A = this chain, B = another copy of it.
Amino acid sequence: MTQYDVVIQYRKGRYIIEYENFAKEMNRGYLQLLVMVLLQESMYGYQIVRELEKRNYIIEENTLYPLLRRLNNKKILQSNWEIVEGKPRKYYQISEDGKKVLEKLIDIWLRQNQLLKNLLGGSKDV
């Protein structure tokens, strides 16, 4: 915690650089979109975490599992259990309703991208 740090607050027993919070917010919406895109092929939770890890994107298990459950409850995803090597795995895939929502989200994402690209005006290669 130096003069160079950004905005600091004490929470849950440690100092939080405020941009950790902003980073969190950046995930909202995006993670849902990401998961829906991935689950066009059937996958289980742990597999998703590892797959994204390989692609240098860290998603917390604490984030992903509740997310999968929520999307499942909303019928955005479908799921089925399989026993593999004595351990149960819950496989998820996007549902027909989910595909419709996914389309909308990709639309939004494209529009957001376009706008930001314009505002940054070529200073970033997006």
Contact = CB atoms under 8 A, between A and B. Distances in A.
What number of copies of this chain does the assembly contain? Answer: 2
A38 B110 contact: no
Interface string A10-25: 0000000011001111
B101 A30 contact: no
B74 A119 contact: no
Q: Tell me if A's interface is mostly helix, strand, loop or mixed.
A: helix
A116 B22 contact: no
A55 interface: yes
Interface of A: 6-7, 18-19, 22-30, 32-34, 37-38, 52, 55-57, 74-76, 97, 100-101, 104-106, 108-113, 115-116, 118-120, 124, 126
The 4 A-B pairs of least Cβ separation, nearest first, read A26-B29, A25-B29, A28-B28, A26-B108
